[in-house]
Amino acid sequence: MHNRFRNTALVLSAVLALTSVPLAASAQTRSVKVHSYDLDLATAAGQATLQQRIHHAVDQVCGPATGARMDEIMSAQACSNVAQVKAMTQYEAVVRAAHEGKVASSHSPDVIVR
């Protein structure tokens, strides 16, 4: 399972590296707090629910990757890529803490999508 998280992080990092900095900056304009206090993150079901919540929050922050102009589509996709990478870093920390039976000391149990 740890390898899956590492592979996800590597893929998301590669996507982040491919996005341009001006487009990626749009991910900083809004944020959504994704709560996980009601989930058992030591289970696959709890993790899947948190991932769904994160995905929904990314859509709220960045909007859909649709539009009339290509630059709007690319901007939304870049925002989504950056927000997803940042959120997954936090996700991995809270899941790791759940497996260790504690709350991560440097992270809240919530994930902030920006």
pLDDT over 90 (residue 23): no
For the residues of 20-88, what is the DSSP string, one character each? -HHHHGGGGS--EEE--TTS-TTSHHHHHHHHHHHHHHHHHHH--S--SSHHHHHHHHHHHHHHHHHHH
Residue in the block written with tokens 């900056």: 25
pLDDT over 50 (residue 73): yes
Query: Which residues are bridge partners to 113 per DSSP?
Result: 32
More confident: 12 or 98: 98
| pLDDT, average across residues 75-94 | 92
pLDDT given for residue 103 in this prediction: 55
